[in-house]
Chain A
Amino acid sequence: MNTKNYIRLEFPSQSVNEGFARGAVACFAAQLDPTLEELGDIKTVVSEAVTNCIVHAYPDTLGKVLVKARILEENTLELVIRDWGRGIPDIEKARQPMYTTGGADRSGMGFTIMESFMDSLRVRSAPGKGTTVTLRRKISLRSGRL
């Protein structure tokens, strides 16, 4: 699919950047004229995916996090969140509801929420090399809008 517009954000895995990342992506996505609910969903999934890089990919170091947002044809938003951290040994297991390696601080619901809020979720990962999460969501075309 053709890219109509895009942004790239790169930052170190400091938790203070979670709010920045979801806010910046939401601002970019605003040009698709999403509803408040759609905008909330976008913020939520960015927060989930970026938090995973910060908490799981780089548990005791700081590493690089890359967030790409693209606007594709048919009013579709694509989000790619990438890290070069620890990786996920068993992706299918990691995607199960309530599965977490993070203890009582985590709920294990991140992937479940990403999956239910977006049209598609793809996870690619290699242990020791990093993880790439790709999310897509078609934003509704509202009446009264050209």
Chain B
Amino acid sequence: MKVLTSFKNGLLVLYFEGELDHHESRDVAQRLERILEEYLPRDCAMDLSGLRFMDSSGIAVILRVYRRMKEMGGRAWVENPGTQPLRVLDASGIDRVVKINVSEGVRS
């Protein structure tokens, strides 16, 4: 899985691309933690529009980013999940903790 970033006015956007499963998740979690240390953002959006597949290992990764941002006094949310990742997000009930913004027209 690839992670691309953009940073503007304190908002860090993390673009997840590819497949996020257990095989990828430990390495991805470490990369994300390093990125957060580097930018120290005020807010962090995780953009999942480029994510083709995610399972519950991805839920743990998203929660880690969310908790780290809270520790730093910031906010974090999820944007634009495609069909399969959205089904997993919904089934996990993570939306009770982390906000999920679904924009129209984004479907993978």
Residues on A lying within 8 angstroms of B by beta carbon are 15-16, 18-19, 22, 36-37, 40-41, 43-44, 47-48, 51, 54-55, 97, 104-110, 112-113, 116-117
Contact = CB atoms under 8 A, between A and B. Distances in A.
A51 B55 contact: yes
B53 A43 contact: yes
A19 B57 CA distance: 13
B21 A109 contact: no
Contact of B84 (A44, A48, A104): A44
Contacts of B42: none
- A-side interface mostly: helix
Contacts of A110: 55-56
Contact of A40 (B25, B63, B84): B84
A126 to B, nearest CB: 24
Among B19, B25, B60, B64, max chain A CB count under 10 A is at B60
A109 B83 contact: no
Interface in B42-82: 53, 55-57, 59-60, 63-64
B83 A55 contact: no
Given A19-B23, A112-B92, A106 B55 contact: no
B4 interface: no
A53 B87 CA distance: 23
Among B23, B57, B59, B92, max chain A CB count under 10 A is at B57
Range for the number of chain B residues in contact with chain A: 20 to 34
Contact of B93 (A54, A97, A117): A97
Given A36-B83, A44-B84, A15 B53 contact: no
Contacts of B64: 104
15 contacts: A18-B23, A22-B53, A37-B83, A40-B83, A54-B22, A104-B64, A105-B25, A105-B29, A107-B63, A109-B56, A112-B91, A112-B92, A113-B55, A113-B88, A113-B91
A98 to B, nearest CB: 9
Contacts of B63: 107
Contacts of A15: 22-23
Contacts of A108: 56
A1 to B, nearest CB: 27
A18 B29 CA distance: 18
A25 B70 CA distance: 39
